[in-house]
């Protein structure tokens, strides 16, 4: 292992306070900059710099991945262990029946029209697990742990996949839900919360749709050019990122969270 590679990985681990091999979550580009401050790079070429870092991490089967929040469009980075398969990464932290509950929760989220699953529907699965049935209070605790570990996000009693989960399990989801999973037509990343074109079926993240349509009074699909009937999210751009707020209302527009048809 080279000195740069070893120092870089140890800096990442020390900064994040994680154990060896544990996937880690960077919350902003500045976090990556902080842990790699000992190595020279051009700040305005962060993506190029991360590509160089990943070359050094490759022998360790580690990689820094870049992702974008489906809620507000903010950029995140994750330090991922490539030596493990997606679901098995969680095996050391969760029991077999807890992982089964997570898989079933993922099923509900991905097949839903909104990209969310209600807590009621998830808890109803607790006594249907094949590995070992679970009491609802136990299932509630598992959901809390999944949120705390950033595999799930919770909003008003509904759950969706956290940015970390999407980043680390994108290939798993695309492979196992190939008829349902879609990539955003704009950023080309997996889209869980999205809007779909009613004509050609392409998907767009809400922040991506808000940014793409921000200057259009009559938005049209970027793929087939048909009218885009959904409400367009309002986009603010603090610090070169963008944050979704209330959708921009248009007469006859469909709800912005419409995802599948």
Instruction: Give me the pLDDT at residue 42, please.
Output: 47
- Write the CATH number for 200: 3.30.40.10
Last residue of a domain, one of 122, 139, 167: 167
Give 253's DSSP letter: P
- Write the CATH number for 63: 3.90.1150.220
Half-sphere exposure at residue 17, Cβ-oriented, CA atoms within 13 angstroms: 0
Half-sphere exposure at residue 72, Cβ-oriented, CA atoms within 13 angstroms: 11
Domain that holds residue 125: 93-167
* Statement to judge: residues 238 and 210 lie in one domain: yes
Instruction: Give me the pLDDT at residue 35, please.
Output: 47
* Statement to judge: residues 82 and 102 lie in one domain: no
Give 230's DSSP letter: B
Instruction: Give me the pLDDT at residue 81, please.
Output: 77
Q: In angstroms, rounded to a whole number, what is the distance separating the alpha carbons of residues 206 and 244?
A: 7
Q: Is 159 inside a domain boundary? A: yes
Instruction: Give me the pLDDT at residue 64, please.
Output: 86
Q: Is 207 inside a domain boundary? A: yes
Indicate the SS3 state at residue 222. coil
* Statement to judge: residues 108 and 44 lie in one domain: no
**120 burial class (0-12, 13-18, 19+ CB within 10 angstroms)?**
exposed
* Statement to judge: residues 67 and 99 lie in one domain: no
Last residue of a domain, one of 167, 198, 228: 167
Q: Is 254 inside a domain boundary? A: no
Q: Is 172 inside a domain boundary? A: no
The total of structural domains in the chain comes to 3
Instruction: Give me the pLDDT at residue 11, please.
Output: 59
Q: Is 238 inside a domain boundary? A: yes
Tens of pLDDT, residue by residue, the chain (261 residues): 444 455 655 655 554 444 334 445 554 444 444 444 444 444 457 778 888 888 888 888 888 888 888 988 888 888 887 776 667 678 778 999 999 999 999 999 999 988 999 999 999 999 899 989 999 999 999 999 999 999 999 999 999 999 989 988 888 899 899 889 999 999 999 999 999 999 999 999 999 999 999 888 899 999 999 999 999 887 655 443 434 444 444 434 454 444 443
Instruction: Give me the pLDDT at residue 160, please.
Output: 97
* Statement to judge: residues 79 and 97 lie in one domain: no
Indicate the SS3 state at residue 81. strand
Q: Is 106 inside a domain boundary? A: yes
pTM of this prediction? 0.75
* Statement to judge: residues 46 and 81 lie in one domain: yes
- Write the CATH number for 157: 1.10.10.10
């Amino acid at each position: 292992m080279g000195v740069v590679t070893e120092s870089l990985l140890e800096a990442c681990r020390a900064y994040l306070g994680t154990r060896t091999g544990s996937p880690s979550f960077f919350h902003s580009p500045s976090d990556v900059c902080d842990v790699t401050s000992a190595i020279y790079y051009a700040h305005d070429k962060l993506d190029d710099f991360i590509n160089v870092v990943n070359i050094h991490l490759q022998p360790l089967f580690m990689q820094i991945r870049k992702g974008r929040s489906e809620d507000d469009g903010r950029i995140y980075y994750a330090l991922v262990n490539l030596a493990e398969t997606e679901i098995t990464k969680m095996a050391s932290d969760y029991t077999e029946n807890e992982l089964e509950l997570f898989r079933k929760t993922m099923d509900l989220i991905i097949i839903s029209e909104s990209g969310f699953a209600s807590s009621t529907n998830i808890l109803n699965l607790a006594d249907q697990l094949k590995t070992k049935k679970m009491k609802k209070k136990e299932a509630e605790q598992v959901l809390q742990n999944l949120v705390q570990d950033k595999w799930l996000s919770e909003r008003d009693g509904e759950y969706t996949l956290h940015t970390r989960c999407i980043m680390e399990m994108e290939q798993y989801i695309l492979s196992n839900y190939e008829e349902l999973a879609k990539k955003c037509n704009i950023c080309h990343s997996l889209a869980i919360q999205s809007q779909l074109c009613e004509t050609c079926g392409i998907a767009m993240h809400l922040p991506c749709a808000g940014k793409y349509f921000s200057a259009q009074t009559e938005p049209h699909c970027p793929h087939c050019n048909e009218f885009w009937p959904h409400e367009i999210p309002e986009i603010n751009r603090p610090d070169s990122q963008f944050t979704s707020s209330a959708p921009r209302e248009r007469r006859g527009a469909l709800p912005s969270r419409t995802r599948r048809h």
